[in-house]
Amino acid sequence: MVEVDLPTPATGEASPTGDRPQGLPQRVNQVKVSMGSTFTVSDQEPVNAIFFMDLAATIREIPDFPKPGILFRDINPLLRNPAAMSDVIKRLERVCDEVRPDLIVGIESRGFLVGAPLALHCALGFVPVRKPGKLPGDVIGIDYALEYGSDRLELQQEALTGSPRVLVVDDLLATGGTAAATGSLVLSAGAELVGFAFVIELESLGGRESLPAGVPVESLIRYP
């Protein structure tokens, strides 16, 4: 959810190529993201650098998957769209600018698809959180409850030494159980948890309420 405070062009509109509208005053623009942070964007940048895509248009809805009554939000069309993926990373870069992480922690498995490119783009390290038996060496883990049964997440014991600032990234925030467990794992490893970031949030499932109070949460696409 992005609000852009831009001056109204004196004449003309922005062209499809992103050329600066004629008559646009020289000024500094303010960009607000839904976390409530305000970022200053230099007027030296092209105007279209701060206009974002309609990411929801790249999400496919598949009814009755994986079982009847569920409307599945499929991000694969977004992943196939390089412009959309670039837009996702640019938006999440602004989150990084706000919370200033040292490391990105990605949750298995689709969190890797977003977290690793974000870490590379922002010149940060990347740490995977994985299911049991996937990581070599000494690991620390956490068991957490699911609707039916339980699951476990692990990370390498030395991955978060030195109390780094950590941003947890995943593709989807639903009930919040996996993200909350990852946050607890990050804290138990001695790191500082500075935020969560998701591509999609299903607000009706109340996942935010499962996450640690006071820790910023950003999602790029929100479904009621």
Q: Which residues are catalytic?
A: 110, 147
Backbone φ and ψ for 34, nearest 5 degrees, come out as -70, -15
Name the packing angle between helices 110-121 and 82-99 (round to 10°). Answer: 70
Q: Which residues contact 119 (CB under 8 A, 6 or more apart)?
A: 103, 104, 125, 126
Contact between 206 and 176 (Cβ < 8 Å):
yes
Task: Dihedral sign for Cα 108, 198, 183, 67, please.
Answer: negative
For residues 25 and 188, give the distance between their C-alpha atoms in angstroms, rounded to a whole number. 51
Scanning the chain, the segments in alpha helix (DSSP H) are: 76-79, 82-99, 110-121, 177-188
Look-up: residue for tokens 């303010």? Answer: 30
Structure token pair of residue 155: 């990370």
